[in-house]
Structure 1
């Protein structure tokens, strides 16, 4: 079973119960967005 691609709502996937959220991905994504200037 392959994990869903990281992104908003990943905790809502059917696989959710046995696969905890991975906040590290969110933090990395947010950091990348901040560095690229996409968000302030």
Structure 2
């Protein structure tokens, strides 16, 4: 997964990646996994 600094942050905050989780990759990946798990549980 290649995220540019100006792309929307994958954590779902709606902020640009550089203003959110750019320097904390573990947190952003954790947020993505949590969101995906929540969506799968809802199905």
TM-score normalised according to structure 2 size = 0.44
Query: What's the TM-score, normalizing by structure 1?
Result: 0.46
- Higher Cα Rg, which structure: 1
